[in-house]
């Protein structure tokens, strides 16, 4: 039994603390992202995705066809649900004073949720990044001035990996390419921010408000 729990703890430690990597590429309207974890990977361009393990790509899933029997069962379930909804007794609405009395509680909840979102976003670590911007708008004078300004901006951002190009042709258009590699773990991404969210939430006040709301809106 002890060996079993040790194996479970080892597997959980791997899942929580082994990092996963995210590679994102942007080029004008094109987009692609790749997530890799323990040899498994998933690639998407926003419309369709591919999955695999190491060098082996998994075959795409076939679209499941719905049979006529499943359609008839679904219709029957919808009719049953609609009948139950009609027969159910309507619940009372909580008065406006109930919500106004607890506006401070809502502010604390929203603040805790926003801090949770910030913790999740800040949990990613940038491994590498690069941005290439090609300047060109069909007017050589403006293009040259912008090209010089961009190098001044690059000098003020020494930690940013920026490169610039130019195109003086009359048909020139702005163009860019960029990629960023991120690293994270399930512990940093979800577990730790979730524990902090639970700690920050006014749990007792939330339970009290829920019970009061349930009492007020209880159907007679």
How confident is the model over 158-188, as pLDDT tens digits?
Answer: 677 878 777 777 777 777 889 999 999 999 9
CB 193 within 8 A of CB 124: no
Q: What is the mean pLDDT of residues 47-68?
A: 80
Q: What is the mean pLDDT of residues 17-41?
A: 90
Of residues 116 and 92, more confidently modeled = 116
214: domain range? 95-220
| Residue at 180 is within a domain | yes
How far apart are alpha carbons 93 and 54 in whole angstroms?
55
Mean pLDDT, rounded, of the chain: 83
Q: What is the mean pLDDT of residues 42-48?
A: 88
Tokens at 183, concatenated:
């690293």
pLDDT of residue 91: 67
* CA 173 to mean position of chain CA atoms: 32
pLDDT above 70 (res 58): yes
| Residue at 139 is within a domain | yes
Number of domains in the chain: 1
Residue 33: exposure state from Cβ atoms within 10 A (0-12, 13-18, ≥19)? middle
**Confidence band, pLDDT 50/70/90 cuts, at residue 125:** very high
Residue among 102, 110, 169 nearest 137 (CA): 169
| Residue at 144 is within a domain | yes
Q: What is the mean pLDDT of residues 72-99?
A: 65
Query: Quick check: helix, strand or coil at residue 129?
Result: strand
| Residue at 179 is within a domain | yes
Q: Per mean pLDDT, which range of 60-69, 75-84, 131-140, 193-202 is the poorest?
A: 75-84
Of residues 82 and 220, more confidently modeled = 82
| Residue at 35 is within a domain | no
pLDDT of residue 52: 93
What is the H or E stretch that residue 14 is in?
helix 2-17
| Residue at 38 is within a domain | no
pLDDT of residue 76: 60
Other CB atoms within a 10 A radius of the CB of residue 116 amount to 17
Q: What is the mean pLDDT of residues 132-150?
A: 76
| Residue at 199 is within a domain | yes
**Confidence band, pLDDT 50/70/90 cuts, at residue 220:** very low
Residue among 182, 171, 58 nearest 127 (CA): 182
pLDDT of residue 45: 87
Q: What is the mean pLDDT of residues 144-171?
A: 75
**Confidence band, pLDDT 50/70/90 cuts, at residue 193:** very high
CB 83 within 8 A of CB 149: no
| Residue at 177 is within a domain | yes
- pTM value? 0.71
pLDDT of residue 218: 79
- Neighbouring-strand partners of residue 51: 42
Q: Per mean pLDDT, which range of 45-49, 61-65, 173-177 is the poorest?
A: 61-65
Percent of the chain with pLDDT over 70: 85
């Amino acid at each position: 039994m002890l060996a079993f729990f040790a194996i479970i703890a080892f597997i959980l430690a791997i899942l929580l603390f082994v990092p996963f990597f995210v590679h994102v590429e942007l080029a004008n309207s094109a987009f692609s992202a790749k997530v890799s974890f323990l040899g498994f990977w998933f690639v998407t361009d926003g419309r369709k995705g591919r999955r695999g393990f190491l060098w082996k790509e998994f075959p795409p899933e076939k679209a499941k066809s719905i049979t006529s029997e499943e359609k008839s069962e679904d219709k029957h379930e919808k009719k049953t649900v609609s009948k139950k909804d009609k027969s159910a007794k309507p619940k009372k609405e909580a008065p406006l004073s109930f919500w106004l009395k607890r506006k401070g509680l809502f502010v604390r909840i929203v603040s805790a949720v926003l801090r949770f979102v910030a913790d999740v976003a800040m949990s990613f670590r940038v491994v590498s990044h690069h941005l290439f911007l090609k300047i060109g708008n069909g007017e050589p004078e403006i293009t040259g001035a912008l090209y010089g300004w961009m190098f001044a901006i690059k000098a003020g951002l020494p930690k940013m990996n920026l490169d610039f190009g130019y195109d003086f042709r009359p048909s020139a258009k702005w163009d860019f390419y960029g990629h960023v590699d991120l690293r994270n773990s399930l512990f940093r991404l979800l577990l730790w921010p979730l524990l902090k969210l639970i700690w920050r939430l006014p749990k007792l006040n939330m339970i009290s408000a829920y019970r009061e709301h349930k009492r007020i809106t209880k159907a007679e």
